[in-house]
Amino acid sequence: MKLTSFIVSAGLCLAIHTAFAADARTVVSLDGEWQIAEGGLDTPPAEFAHRVPVPGLVDMATPAFAEVGKKSEKRQAFWYRREFTLKQPVPEIALLKIHKAQFGTKVWLNGKVVGEHLPCFTPAWLDVKRALKDGGQPNELIIRVGADRDSMPQDMPTGWDFEKYLYIPGIYDSVELILTGAPYIVNVQTVPSIETKSVRVVAEVATGNKGCEFELQATVCLRGSTRVDGTLTTSKTYVRTKKKKTVDFTVPIRDCRLWSPEEPFLYELNLTTGADTTKTRFGMRSFSFDREKKRAMLNGRPYFMRGSNVTAYRFFEDSARGTLPWDREWVRKLHQKFKTMHWNSLRYCIGFPPEFWYDIADEEGILIQDEFPIWVLSGSKNQCPEWPVAEKIIPQYTEWMRERWNHPCVVIWDAQNESGTPETGKALTAVRPLDLSNRPWENGWAEPQATTDCVESHPYMHIRGWWPSGKPFKMSEIAGMSGRPNLNKAQQALEVPIIINEYGWLWLTRDGQPTCLTTNVYRNIFGGDSTVQQRREFYARALAAKTEFWRAHRECAGVLHFCVVGYSRPGDKPRPEGGATSDHWLDVKELKLEPLFEKYMKDAFAPTGLMLDFWAEDVPAGEKRDVSVVVINDLYGPWHGSVRFRLLQGTKVLSEQMQPCAVAVLGDKRLTFPFTAPDAPGHYTLEATLMKRKSPPVVSLRDFQVPPPK
């Protein structure tokens, strides 16, 4: 099979030269520069005077459109257009795949309507054979998308977000033309079995205009290797005209290697019917939750999840976004940066990034809690701009799972965020059997639907200082807190493991200013004005201390901070115009994190870490007490080293103690150090440090003051 393509920029015409082999499929990328225009919903514009990249968003068009991302009298829809030609005959199967577009998609090919697809977060698959021209004739492809979120009905998920200011439309993921013969492979689900060192393959095969007999030939290779590690040929199967057949078989894998964040080995399944061939990547891994131990289980062993959140759709409206979400090199470096923070997990929060992000997470080794973009809190239908219902959610959950179930990185289907609606529970119960790997689900603030699932908790301690009349939270209150975060009544219906995937409520914009949710918080902390340096220091140190607290108590399966990719907007206005949350970049393009956040949070998430169990903010002069230091070990090997305990005033060391320490596999150890507060009033710091030869130190810090005598 030979494929050559080029773009004629003036006419936006893609010329496709393809020799269709009897045993191959051709996937032709239609990504690149398209024409675009604004207009009504019914008739394509007469002129396309703007250009826009696909994938991308409408705000990337040149010349730019006005009032993009909000409802405007200027348009009801945006219309995308491009031309391409096929030099060879159209094969028996010709499908157009639009990976993701919003808000609501309708497609014309050569003047004929070939299909519609309302969902904004899952792919559209359209049969274009009857409308497709070959022999060098130009094909005109037109795709219409709604101009704003209001283009969608209220009972459909649209990505409503209480923090979003702009809902920018566009074809924000790839567009492909798939050309092949019949019988063709519609979908493949790989189901790894690490116990039997084999992969179960469930393939949907369909015919074209006539029935036929076929057999499937399968080969498995480790990604990057030409050695065949598994092979199988199925018995012959007959499929009737325009019907589908599911073929279910198992391929043993020689020298099976497991996938994990530490060793992200990937396999490639090559599957052919003789008329169609497809390649599917997968990883040999299992993932579940141990309900009794309240742990995640990766490949049959307890695994502590550490990480953060990526809110791609919020980042879409960020002023620094540019083309970054579609820059593969940047996205790879982004995930590699996450690994330097000792993060092995992410929640792709309130929405799905472009599909290649999941490929990179597979390759770099990051566990993904994949969250469908539904967020209605505990409101009612009349109070929410959208109110998705189960019958509209079920088809989208189905499309989502079929698109993503071969990614080893995707370990949790997350039905929604912070919502009490019963509709997502109904929907996930309906689709759960589709995933033969039986991944766990998480259902936001609603009731978990199975004992194998997990729940999310968002213990925002400093939320209490959000309201001017509220009693400010003090870090000293942590001393009396349980290490098990609170859940709402619905979440307690089944006692299942907990993932903390949000906490803090101390957000600062990238330039160090409070957001509209934290202005009063910082006013309470500092008693009035504060400097950027003071706020950043407090934010980083307090967030690290909270991270240590939740990790050290071992009550939760995972601790994921919120958030590392989002927007940064000034917080001097109420939301949505005013920024409510933010991320931690000084320069998002260059992936330069705020240094204090990077320094303290990297230690707080260290696989072998520690918590200085000291929370007092004021200590009387000369007071004697014992101070505990908790050392935790997330690793599958024992840890041996020392813990250093020091009293500091600024950079001056006032006292120092050292104790040896050994922590078992996946264990924890509590050490006790005698401490006497200084006699002189002033500000002091306690420091606990993990010390091990040839390993970087890991530090936990607590500030306190000795007040002057009354």
Do both 388 and 463 map to the same domain? Answer: yes
Do both 549 and 498 map to the same domain? Answer: yes
User: What CATH number corresponds to the domain at position 326?
Assistant: 3.20.20.80
Asked if residue 135 has pLDDT above 90, the reply is no
Residue 690 identity (one-letter amino acid): L
| pLDDT tens digits, 532-556 | 999 999 999 999 999 999 999 999 9
Local confidence band at 2 (pLDDT 50, 70, 90 cut-offs):
very low
d(C-alpha 68, C-alpha 298), whole Å: 44
CA dihedral angle for residue 106, residue 110, residue 114, residue 118, rounded to 10 degrees: -10
> What does the pLDDT read at residue 13?
54
What's the rounded mean pLDDT across residues 114-140? Answer: 96
> What does the pLDDT read at residue 471?
86
Do both 126 and 246 map to the same domain? Answer: no
Local confidence band at 303 (pLDDT 50, 70, 90 cut-offs):
very high
Asked if residue 19 has pLDDT above 70, the reply is no
Do both 204 and 341 map to the same domain? Answer: no
What are the structure tokens assigned to 86, written together? 């096929």
> What does the pLDDT read at residue 390?
96
> What does the pLDDT read at residue 18?
46
> What does the pLDDT read at residue 209?
78
Domain of 634 in residue numbering reads as: 610-706
Domain end (from 575, 605, 635): 605
> What does the pLDDT read at residue 6?
28
- Using an 8 Å Cβ cutoff, are 61 and 36 in contact? yes
Asked if residue 223 has pLDDT above 50, the reply is yes
What are the structure tokens assigned to 490, written together? 């619905």
Whole-structure pTM over 0.85, yes or no? Answer: yes
Asked if residue 404 has pLDDT above 60, the reply is yes
> What does the pLDDT read at residue 381?
64
What's the rounded mean pLDDT across residues 511-539? Answer: 95
Do both 627 and 650 map to the same domain? Answer: yes
| DSSP string computed for 185-251 | EEEEEEEEETTTTEEEEEEEEE-SSS-EEE--EEEEEETT--SEEEEEEPPPEEE-TT-EEEEEEEE
- Using an 8 Å Cβ cutoff, are 206 and 264 in contact? no
| pLDDT tens digits, 69-83 | 999 999 999 999 999
User: What CATH number corresponds to the domain at position 19?
Assistant: 2.60.120.260
Q: What angle in degrees, to the nearest 10, is found between the helix axes of 519-526 and 532-552? A: 100
Q: What is the largest CA-CA distance in the chain?
A: 94
Do both 35 and 104 map to the same domain? Answer: yes
| pLDDT tens digits, 501-510 | 999 999 999 9
d(C-alpha 644, C-alpha 653), whole Å: 12
β 498-500/558-560 pair status: parallel
Do both 429 and 572 map to the same domain? Answer: yes
The larger pLDDT score, comparing residue 10 to residue 176, is at 176
The larger pLDDT score, comparing residue 209 to residue 436, is at 436
Asked if residue 12 has pLDDT above 70, the reply is no
Residue 227 CB neighbour total at 10 angstroms: 8
Phi, psi dihedrals of residue 369, rounded to the nearest 5° = -90, 110
Do both 667 and 582 map to the same domain? Answer: no
Do both 247 and 296 map to the same domain? Answer: no
Asked if residue 382 has pLDDT above 50, the reply is yes
CA dihedral angle for residue 118, residue 122, residue 126, residue 132, rounded to 10 degrees: 110
Question: Does residue 87 sit in helix, strand or coil?
Answer: coil
Do both 270 and 294 map to the same domain? Answer: no
User: What CATH number corresponds to the domain at position 692?
Assistant: 2.60.40.10
Asked if residue 182 has pLDDT above 80, the reply is yes
What are the structure tokens assigned to 391, written together? 């019958």
Q: How many domains does the chain have?
A: 4
> What does the pLDDT read at residue 710?
82
Residue 702's nearest CA partner among 594, 609, 618 is 618
- Using an 8 Å Cβ cutoff, are 441 and 486 in contact? no
Do both 523 and 538 map to the same domain? Answer: yes
Residue 108's nearest CA partner among 76, 83, 71, 73 is 83
Q: What is the DSSP letter of 131?
A: G
Asked if residue 293 has pLDDT above 60, the reply is yes
| pLDDT tens digits, 332-375 | 999 999 999 999 999 999 999 999 999 999 999 999 999 999 99
Local confidence band at 36 (pLDDT 50, 70, 90 cut-offs):
very high
What's the rounded mean pLDDT across residues 215-223? Answer: 96
Residue 671: HSE in the Cβ half-sphere, 13 Å Cα cutoff = 23
The listed range with the strongest mean pLDDT (16-30, 149-163, 342-356, 570-584) is 342-356
| pLDDT tens digits, 658-700 | 999 999 999 999 999 999 999 999 999 999 999 999 999 999 9
Beta-bridge mates of residue 410? 368
Beta carbons within 8 Å of 259's beta carbon, 6+ residues apart: 265, 266, 283, 284, 285, 362, 365, 408
> What does the pLDDT read at residue 577?
82
Asked if residue 14 has pLDDT above 90, the reply is no
Asked if residue 242 has pLDDT above 90, the reply is no
Domain end (from 134, 149, 180): 180
Local confidence band at 4 (pLDDT 50, 70, 90 cut-offs):
very low
- Using an 8 Å Cβ cutoff, are 134 and 88 in contact? yes
| pLDDT tens digits, 580-630 | 999 999 999 999 999 999 999 999 999 999 999 999 999 999 999 999 999
> What does the pLDDT read at residue 8?
33
| DSSP string computed for 297-318 | EETTEEE-EEEEEE-HHHHTT-
Do both 570 and 650 map to the same domain? Answer: no
Domain end (from 580, 605, 630): 605
How remote is the C-alpha of 709 from its chain's centroid?
Answer: 52
